[in-house]
Amino acid sequence: MDRLKRFARSDVAAMVLLAALILGVFGALNPVFLRPVNLVQYVNNGVVLGFITIALSTSVIAGHFDYSVGAMTGFGTVFMALLLRGGMHVALALPLCLLSLLLFGALNGVIVGFLRVPGMLATLGTSSLIYGISLVLTQGQAIGANSEAYKVFGKSDLGTLPFGIVLLAVVFAASAVFLSRTRTGRRWYLIGTSPESARFAGISYRKETLLVHVFSACMCFFGALILGSRMASGRADIAEGYVLQAVTAAVFGGISIKGGSGTIAGALLGVLTFTLLTSGFTMIGLSQFYKQVTTGALLVLVLLVRNRHAIFPPRK
Query: Smallest distance, Å, CB 123 to another protein?
Result: 10
Residues 70-99 that bind another protein (CB under 8 A): none
Query: Smallest distance, Å, CB 266 to another protein?
Result: 16
Query: Smallest distance, Å, CB 165 to another protein?
Result: 25
Query: Smallest distance, Å, CB 116 to another protein?
Result: 6
Interior/surface letters 207-238, b for 16+ CB within 10 angstroms, e for the rest: ebbbbbbbbbbbbbbbbbbbbbbbbbbbbbeb
Q: How far is CA 82 from CA 45, 102, 143, 144, 236, in A?
A: 24, 18, 7, 8, 12
Nearer of residues 47 and 133 to another protein, judged by Cβ? 133
Residue type at position 31: P
Convert 246-280 into a string of H (helix), E (strand) and C (coil).
HHHHHHHCCCCCCCCCCCHHHHHHHHHHHHHHHHH
Tally the C-alpha atoms within 13 A of residue 180's C-alpha that lie toward its C-beta: 12
Query: Smallest distance, Å, CB 22 to another protein?
Result: 19
* 66 DSSP 8-state letter: -
Binding mask 266-295 for another protein (x = CB under 8 A): ---------------------xxxxxxxxx
In the list 87, 202, 285, 313, the residue contacting another protein (rule: CB under 8 A) is 202
In the list 75, 104, 131, 222, the residue contacting another protein (rule: CB under 8 A) is 131
Tell me the H-state helices in 64-147: 69-85, 90-109, 119-138
- Does residue number 171 form part of the binding site for another protein (CB under 8 A)? no
Nearer of residues 38 and 193 to another protein, judged by Cβ? 193
- Does residue number 29 form part of the binding site for another protein (CB under 8 A)? no
136 CA to centre of own chain: 25
Nearer of residues 38 and 204 to another protein, judged by Cβ? 204
Nearer of residues 90 and 299 to another protein, judged by Cβ? 299
Q: Which residues contact 112 (CB under 8 A, 6 or more apart)?
A: 64, 118, 119, 122, 123, 209, 213
Can you spell out the DSSP letters for 199-217? Answer: HHTT--HHHHHHHHHHHHH
Choose the stretch contacting another protein; rule: CB under 8 A; options: 117-125, 149-157, 165-173, 269-277: 117-125
Applying CB under 8 A, which residues contact another protein?
65, 67, 111, 115-118, 120-122, 124-133, 135-136, 138-140, 177, 180-183, 186, 189-190, 193-194, 196-204, 243-244, 247-248, 251, 257, 260-261, 287-297, 299-300, 303-304, 307, 310-311
